[in-house]
Amino acid sequence: MNAPSNIAFSGGFKNVPVASSHAFRAAMVAMARPGQVQDISGAQAPGPLSDAAATLLMTLCDPETSIYLAADVDTPELRDWLTFHTGAPFVEAGQADFAVGGWDALMPLHQFKIGTAEYPDRSATLIVERAELSNAGATLRGPGIKDTAQFDLPDVGVLQGNAALFPLGVDFFFTSGTRVAALPRSTQLSMEG
């Protein structure tokens, strides 16, 4: 195997404790307020991955977490970059703690861990790359949302199925450029106005 090119070593956090604290705050507020878009940046991965997705992986992954790269983002350069910066092992979808990619490439959803009845936290977190994040579309209700919120989702039917599994299910981050929003399994979805 060839030595990784220099691109694997660049694009990391400038000041790791500070950059990761900012990135985590954005991720936490996103997860606590479903559908609300936050700014997140600090890491740049090679290839098509957005800065937001790269920053999330850098903030949350390490040798204790496994990553599944969907086919549309699975390049040798990205694998080298993630290995150098996080040390996280790459696995099949069914074992993954974190999965990254476009919506279509990540499907079917049922292949991911949804946790167990006694440990619903042992479930996958999906980082879904989107062309843009828009506060128009499906109506969101539930924890973290005052009354209702609007957010553009890739497939409301599939996501309603995931929410119906609560307290089991997977949790989502949606990323685009340097922006992130989240959809935890606890959010109820509908398509009405």
- Provide the binding-site residues for another protein, judged by CB under 8 A: 16-18, 20-22, 24-25, 27-29, 31-33, 59-62, 64-65, 116-121, 123, 125, 142-146, 166-167, 171, 184-186
CB of 4 to another protein, least distance (A): 22
Main-chain dihedrals φ then ψ at residue 77, nearest 5 degrees: -65, -45
Q: How far, in Å, CA of 58 to CA of 48, rounded?
A: 16
- C-beta of 134 vs 186, nearer to another protein: 186
Which residue's CB is nearer to another protein, number 98 or number 103? 98
| Type and span of the H or E element at 18 | helix 16-32
- Least distance between another protein and beta carbon 2 (Å): 29
Q: Which residue's structure tokens are 């990553």?
A: 67
Question: 185 with 170: CB under 8 angstroms?
Answer: yes
Q: Which is nearer to another protein, 110 or 122 (CB)?
A: 122
DSSP annotation of 90: B
- Closest approach, Cβ 157 to another protein, in A, equals 20
The Cα 122–Cα 158 span in angstroms is 20
- Cα separation values, 80 from 27, 83, 153, Å: 24, 5, 31
CB nearer to another protein: pick between 1 and 146? 146
Task: Report the first-to-last Cα separation within the chain, whole angstroms.
Answer: 54
User: Nearest distance from residue 1's CB to another protein, in Å?
Assistant: 27
Residue number with CB closer to another protein (5 or 21): 21
Task: Give the nearest distance from C-beta 28 to another protein in angstroms.
Answer: 6
Going edge to edge, which strands form the sheet with 188-190? 149-151, 138-141, 188-190
